[in-house]
Amino acid sequence: MTLSPLNSFHQARIALTIGAIIVASALLVFFGLLPQTDAVSSIKSEIDQKQQRIAQVRSEIQSYQEVQANLKKLTGSDTMPEIFSKRENVLTLIEGLEGAVARSAGSHTLVLTDHEEQAAVSASSKPPARQAVIKELTGAEEIPYQLDYFGSYRQTVNFLLYLENLPFITRVGKLSLAAESVQSSEPGGDTRNTGNAFTQVDGLLFIQKP
């Protein structure tokens, strides 16, 4: 059977319409649905990250609460002053620092600055109040100290290990190390290290507030 030109035209028109619908659907999926899918995935990823952060914060809060509860069991209080020495026992802290030097067989000088003691001695000319290094710490006073140590490299390492493992709380704010060197006696000779080192420790001791 032979198709008339009119029928052929209608069939071509139908085919073009179907093709246009297919192309439009593909464009809708590509430019419409896919970006929305990406946006949904991005939002989901952001929600997952926030949930992970919330879980981390909750874990940190729980850890803090557990530490606070354990501290209260040990000291009978949920604050920290009980773990610091009293002012009358400050000599024990000094002996601890000097013991770290003695065990490492080096030499040292130690200078402590007790601002409260200075204020008590010179009440007539009271120095301005010192700003605390650790502002969040309550119930304890800071006593700054400077310890100059001299010894061999091995002795210096031992001293730092002893300092790290003192039986009380101390904060090291600054630690400086410098090798000892000597000038060669020969004309134009270079300097050489002796195998010894100078160490300066700027730190804090802590005692209970009265």
Q: Which tens digits make up the pLDDT trace of 5-18?
A: 445 555 666 666 67
CA atoms of 113 and 147, how far apart (whole Å)? 12
CA atoms of 116 and 126, how far apart (whole Å)? 10
From residue 196, alpha-carbon distances to 63, 84, 157, 161, 179 in Å are 44, 35, 11, 17, 6
CA atoms of 171 and 157, how far apart (whole Å)? 18
CA atoms of 11 and 15, how far apart (whole Å)? 6
How is domain 83-208 classified at the CATH fold level?
Answer: Alpha-Beta Plaits (3.30.70)
Spans of all domains in the chain: 1-78, 83-208
Tell me, what DSSP letter sits at residue 177?
A: E
Q: Which tens digits make up the pLDDT trace of 133-180?
A: 777 667 788 889 999 999 999 999 999 999 888 888 888 888 999 998
Kindly give, in sequence order, each residue whose CB lies less than 8 Å from that of residue 114, ignoring residues fewer than 6 positions away.
90, 143
Residues of the chain with pLDDT under 50: 1-3, 5-6, 74-75, 78
pTM of this structure: 0.52
